[in-house]
Structure 1
């Protein structure tokens, strides 16, 4: 992706009185990357995006584009494309005029405007809708118009603030695939804000997880899901069970920990000292109901307290001496709806657990 714009943030903070909306955030976005800023409401993700865009001035820190400081530049001088949650289309202007607007305010010659608008609408497959008004379009089509408008002036990078949140569930899922494909096609750097974990996992090259203005963890979706660093990350990015215990024994490839009178094995290279407190995360889909000779290294007995039918799977809540554990089992492996109160044994392999830090 040579020649694409790389962005770096160096210890960026934003203070509003005593409140710290951003707290010493540092990260680098590679040229052509799709980076998602993920976190709950109030985590600082939108403040961070608005700081990159130039609408919020950081209290301290530096923002650089290809090594050049830009924090002193106003938004219109940064040449960043933006797509907002509500699309912000002009209702009285046609699709073509909406897309042309950024070029018109830049004083672009009329012939060039017509050429670039046609190209941009072609990219988002809306060439036949050029003379329609926004109210004559579906939500997905309006989102594509907003994308075309953000792309028409050849921005250095794209900033997207929850652009799919107004869409219904099915259209949102379709647009996630379409937007990721679109990103690969044009090759621009995308910085995307969402609070939707599934959206972040399915679309991003890397995900930055924020909480209370702090960057907690940054990495590829698979790394964050399979190796969360803290309890918050494990809980926020998917579902997790948590087992607290103390290390009983260490081995060359892991350790054994004791939890509520039971011993469980963990396979990994992060063995702490004997008698250390540990917090272990366990994804529900890495657990299974023990049947026949299929006995994993770790097992625990319990009774079904609740269950949900998800179509492809049953999501069980099982009461055990180690607490209530969530277990996801494929529907085809279960002989019918589970019976509340029925006894069963659940288990997991030694490499299924993840050691995480307390928040």
Structure 2
């Protein structure tokens, strides 16, 4: 997944001094249809770099500045698209496989202009105040109150994704995941946007936590995998490392359970040593919830937010183990068990069946 995504962007991963970094393809391997190369062409032809107020922060030479500004833009755009692919998959899952909730495809997004409208006229705008031309096309796409779908300062100063050329093509990767009608690997070239959507659709973003057999036998891409990809791409400058899920899960479990014990001891005057001792001492479940909720967690080196998600999962599992897990109205969720396995939160009912979300 990672290698082909880099191919579509126009990047390659290299190893320098023990660190893995991503770089622009060498001159003989570049394709003007890749997202990066098309961005660089527009930045250069429109003389955007010289107009930046602090161009020097993007590199010493004009070429370095072109690459770094283009890559920064590409990272923003790809982050949005990957997030939306997860959202799309969850919408379809929550609505019992209803494909009408799919929106990242050429039927709805035929060109980069449409993608730009999705970012800023749909996701960043409440349903009731959306423009008429996008209301029907994206009627089932929810409003997201997120800064991810607000134009960045560098976009305002340089380019939006709508500036890219729709008709450009790139060749399929030699070991592409795409298949032709005969089930063989795709060859030849296709438009960049079509390639990106077909590539994403070749993977399963929706089966997280499910034991169901996948009919199309697609490779699963879950939030943890995307977290790794986000941080590998976003950390291109200094070779930042992604913390594997098993490590974040272990660290969160060990530290948070000890913290919870200490918190109860401090506030209640108890002398518990082990986490399991808390269960028999808790009498007021509402107060116990407030004590756990009072714990503050800060990740000063936050990247994709993976560590914080692991921490949130563990806090919910802690409440479940203490039998104090409540819904937003204060009703005890006593018929459900929550545990964290392989850095994923697993919710089961009293009969051991996996929880399934049923939209109203």
TM-score, normalised on structure 2?
Answer: 0.28
Instruction: Name the structure with the higher helix share.
Output: 2
Flag the structure with larger Rg.
1
Instruction: Name the structure with the higher strand share.
Output: 1
